[in-house]
Homo-oligomer: A and B are copies of this chain.
């Protein structure tokens, strides 16, 4: 039974749904976040550029089938909001299940497009930041 497509009233709602789907490894929820009828683009960390629904869907299926569970906290957000497009640059602070500290951040550029079903993801481009980028996070000085 197909789920009713959710409506995302803001790019922030779509982004929250994206990272929730990633944490829950929920393929249907993940693909509900992406724009339909557009040439969507997805670049996973260290991966090739994937374009079109079929390639993007297949990549998430493989990632979620891989069984790695993670928690993702977003920080360092920079956003530019247009009428129909919204651009977010964020740090993804990923903690893998069984680990107690986040990995060095992944830098993500997320682009959202407003359509008949509200805001949907058009581009997700993620790449690992070098470990030094950890110094962005607050530290206790000795």
- Chain A residues with a Cβ under 8 A of chain B: 38-39, 41, 43, 45-49, 51, 76, 78, 80, 82-85, 87, 89, 91, 107, 109, 111, 113, 122-123, 125, 127-130, 132-133, 136
Q: Which 5 A-B pairs have the closest CB atoms?
A: A127-B127, A48-B133, A49-B107, A109-B125, A85-B85
Q: Which of B76, B80, B113, B125 contacts A38 (CB 8 A)?
A: B80
| Cβ–Cβ contact A80 & B125, under 8 A | no
Listed by A's residue number, 13 A-B pairs whose Cβ atoms lie within 8 Å are: A39-B80, A46-B128, A47-B129, A48-B107, A48-B130, A48-B132, A49-B91, A49-B129, A80-B85, A82-B84, A87-B111, A87-B122, A125-B125
Output the least CB separation between A106 and chain B (Å): 10
Query: What residues of B have a CB within 8 angstroms of the CB of A83 in the complex?
Result: 82-84
Contacts of A82 in B (CB 8 A): 82-85
Q: Give the residues in chain B near A113, CB-CB below 8 Å.
A: 80
Please indicate which of the listed interface residues A82, A122, A128 has the most CB atoms of chain B within 10 Å of its own CB: A82
Identical copies in the complex: 2
Say whether, besides A49-B91, A51-B89, A84-B82, A123 and B107 are in contact (CB < 8 Å).
no
**Bound CA–CA A84/B113 (angstroms):** 13
Complex: how many Å from CA A130 to CA B107? 18
The distance from the CB of A115 to the nearest CB of chain B, in whole angstroms, is: 12
